[in-house]
Amino acid sequence: MMASELLSARAFWLAAPGRGEIRAERLEALGADGARVRTLYSGISRGTESLVFRGEVPPSQYQAMRAPFQQGEFPAPIKYGYCSVGVVEAGPAALRGHTVFCLYPHQDRYVVLAAALTPIPPAIPPGRAVLAANLETALNVLWDAAPRLGDRITVIGAGVVGCLIARLAGRLPGCAVQLVDVDPRREAIAHRLGVRFALPERADGEQDRVIHASGSPVGLATALGLAGFEATVVEASWFGARPVSLPLGEAFHSQRLAIQSSQVGHIAAAQRGRWDHRRRMATVMELLDDPALDALISGESLFADLPRVMAELSANPNGALCQRIVYPSAGEWGAHPEGNGDEFH
């Protein structure tokens, strides 16, 4: 391999639990089926990435929690992430110059098999496409919940995934959807998504479908309290190594309730015989054609500031939804863009 075929890149690594850093990397030349991508944006999947950043992935889940292009091993050092949007610089003619989504960590340039890239339709702003991985999760959760027309649906937890679930559910004919969260600031987001907002103590009960996405044991207890007779609570949160205590001695048995897990790594059982991951992601790209979703981008930061931003989000999210990471343009390649990255909030 000739030296000219090697390119440099910069990647965000978790050096140790609670400490991230930007590291220089070298990219190999393209293989016959490869593509080289210059990153425009990445997104922080705050719930999962905060657990990873704090080193809270339990050893029993090390294999299950591997990201598609992860390098290193839990707990650290590790390169982790899965919300990357970029432009194909080199590779198959059908992809060159096109904007694509990839389940790749935070890195300013990378080489993958072309088959790992999903083209982003021209109608979709590239900056919105950082929501694709979370929207894929939301779609899978809703498949697991299997709502019927006219159902009363409650989503608990107005984080990015919860908001996306509520938006999808709210577009089902005849369904009454309420988004429940302890933060009253989420009411404005719910309004933009076209669904009702409620604080937990004011939420309607006797719900046909309850989806829990708050990441809090208290939220799951609230979900059980709002579920109607013989309803199923779909658990979309992941608690990592934290134990969860539930009030299963109250109305859980007399109401004949059920708790069902949902996880995006496997396509929902009802779809699994006909759908694969590529078809599911293609559907996500169609669902991204929705300007209301822009409300879920709560802040932007420079790639160079990612170690600080990840530490702050992990310790105190302060109402943040999706934090979008902005990368240097082609003209700024190799230089840190000007700015202080203080758009984080």
Same domain, 209 and 304: no
Q: Is the pLDDT of residue 334 over 50?
A: no
What would the mean pLDDT of 327-344 be, rounded to a whole number? 47
Whole-number Å distance between alpha carbons of 258 and 168: 23
Same structural domain, 145 and 256: yes
Average pLDDT on 127-156 reads 97
Q: Could you tell me if 92 and 107 are in contact, meaning their C-beta atoms sit under 8 angstroms apart?
A: no
Q: Are residues 77 and 43 in the same domain?
A: yes
Both 111 and 144 in one domain: the answer is no
Same domain, yes or no: 87 and 57: yes
- In a shared domain, residues 85 and 143: no
pLDDT digit string, tens, across residues 288-311: 999 999 999 999 999 999 999 999
Domain region containing 300: 3-123+289-332
Last residue of a domain, one of 261, 280, 314: 261
Q: How many domains does the chain have?
A: 2
pLDDT 10s digits, 197-216: 999 999 999 999 999 999 89
Q: Is residue 53 part of a domain?
A: yes
For residue 277, tell me if it sits in a domain: no
Res. 318: pLDDT tops 90: no
Residue 284 lies in a domain: no
Q: Which two tokens stand for residue 133?
A: 């991985």
83-101 confidence digits (pLDDT tens): 999 999 999 999 999 999 9
Identify whether residues 21 and 103 lie together within a single domain: yes
| Residues 104 and 174 placed together within one structural domain of the fold | no
The CATH number given to whatever domain includes residue 18 is 3.90.180.10
Average pLDDT value for residue range 37-60: 93
Read off the tokens for 186.
């989420």
- Give yes or no: residues 187 and 247 share one domain: yes
- Whether 34 is in a domain gets the answer yes
Lookup: tokens for 180: 């429940």
Answer yes or no: do 216 and 241 share one domain: yes
Q: Give the number of C-alpha atoms closer than 13 A to the C-alpha of residue 294, restricted to the C-beta side.
A: 8
- Whole-prediction pTM: 0.90
151 in the same domain as 76:
no
Would residue 241 count as lying in a domain?
yes
pLDDT value of residue 6 = 55
Q: Are residues 149 and 101 in the same domain?
A: no
- Would you tell me how many other CB atoms lie within 10 Å of the CB of residue 244? 12
